[in-house]
Amino acid sequence: MKTQLFLSSAAVAITLAACGPAEDAATPTDAETSAATETRETAAAEATNPLLAEWDTPFGAPPFSQIEEAHFLPAFDVALASHREEIDAIASNDAEPTFENTLLAMENAGADLTRISRVFFNLTSSASNDEIRAIQREMSPRLAAHNAAITLNADLFARIETIYNTLDERDLTAQQRRLVEVTYENFTRAGAQLEGDDRERFAEIRSELAGLYTQFSQNEQADREAWTLSLSEEDLADLPAYIVSAAAGAAADRDIDGHVVTLARSSVEPFLQTSPNRELREEAWRAWYSRGSNDNANNNADTIRQILALRREQAEMLGYESFSHYRTGGTMAGTPQAALNLMEQVWWPARERALEEAADIEAMIAADGLDHELEGWDWRYYTSQVRAERFDLDESVVKSYFQLDKMIEAQFYVAERLFGVRFNERTDIDTYHPDVRVWEMLDANDQVVGLFYGDYFARPGKRGGAWMSSFRAQNGINGDIPIIVNNCNYNKPAEGEPALVSFNDASTLFHEFGHGLHGLLSSTDFPSLAGTAVDRDFVEFPAQIYEHWLEQPEILERFAVHYETGEPIPADLLERLMAAGTFNQGFATVEFLNSGFVDMAYHLHEDPMSLDIEAFEAEVLESRQNLPQIPMRHRSTHFLHTFAGEGYSSGYYSYLWAGVLDTDGFEAFREAGDIFDPEAAQALYDSVFSAGNSEPAMDAYVGFRGREPRVDALLRDRGFVEAEG
Distances (CA, A) of 42 to 145, 146, 279, 546: 23, 21, 59, 48
**CA 546, chain centre distance (Å):** 16
**H or E segment and range at residue 440:** strand 437-442
Give the number of other Cβ atoms within 10 Å of residue 496's Cβ.
5
User: What does the alpha-carbon distance between residue 212 and residue 141 come to, in Å, rounded to a whole number?
Assistant: 9
79: left (phi over 0), alpha (psi -120 to 50) or beta: alpha
Residue pair 432/129 in contact (Cβ under 8 Å)? The answer is: no
CB under 8 A, 24+ apart: contacts of 3-12: 3/46, 3/47, 3/52, 6/43, 6/46, 7/43, 7/46, 7/47, 9/39, 10/36, 10/39, 10/40, 10/42, 10/43
Distances (CA, A) of 228 to 130, 263, 267: 20, 7, 10
What's the one-letter identity of residue 272?
A: L
Pairing of strands 467-472, 260-262: unpaired
User: What does the alpha-carbon distance between residue 588 and residue 502 come to, in Å, rounded to a whole number?
Assistant: 16
- What lies within 8 Å, CB to CB, of 190 at 6+ separation is 147, 148, 151, 152
- What lies within 8 Å, CB to CB, of 289 at 6+ separation is 376, 631, 635
Residues with a known catalytic role: 512
Backbone angles phi, psi at 647, to 5 degrees: -55, -50
User: What does the alpha-carbon distance between residue 216 and residue 643 come to, in Å, rounded to a whole number?
Assistant: 7
Distances (CA, A) of 624 to 343, 377, 522, 533, 557: 11, 22, 41, 34, 42
Residue pair 88/393 in contact (Cβ under 8 Å)? The answer is: no
User: What does the alpha-carbon distance between residue 714 and residue 582 come to, in Å, rounded to a whole number?
Assistant: 11
Closest among 672, 653, 656, 648 to 709, alpha carbons compared: 656
The SS3 assignment for 422 reads: strand
- What lies within 8 Å, CB to CB, of 458 at 6+ separation is 250, 262, 264, 266, 267, 464, 489, 490, 491, 492
Residue pair 209/645 in contact (Cβ under 8 Å)? The answer is: no
The count of residues in the chain is: 725
Give the number of other Cβ atoms within 10 Å of residue 568's Cβ.
16
Q: 53 exposed, middle or buried (CB, 10 Å; 0-12, 13-18, 19+)?
A: middle
User: What does the alpha-carbon distance between residue 158 and residue 167 come to, in Å, rounded to a whole number?
Assistant: 14
Task: Measure CA of the first residue to CA of the last residue in the chain; give whole Å.
Answer: 69
The SS3 assignment for 314 reads: helix
Give the number of other Cβ atoms within 10 Å of residue 420's Cβ.
15
Backbone angles phi, psi at 59, to 5 degrees: 60, 20
Q: Where are the alpha helices (DSSP H) in 610-653?
A: 613-622, 640-643
Closest among 78, 57, 76, 77 to 66, alpha carbons compared: 57
User: What does the alpha-carbon distance between residue 22 and residue 227 come to, in Å, rounded to a whole number?
Assistant: 68
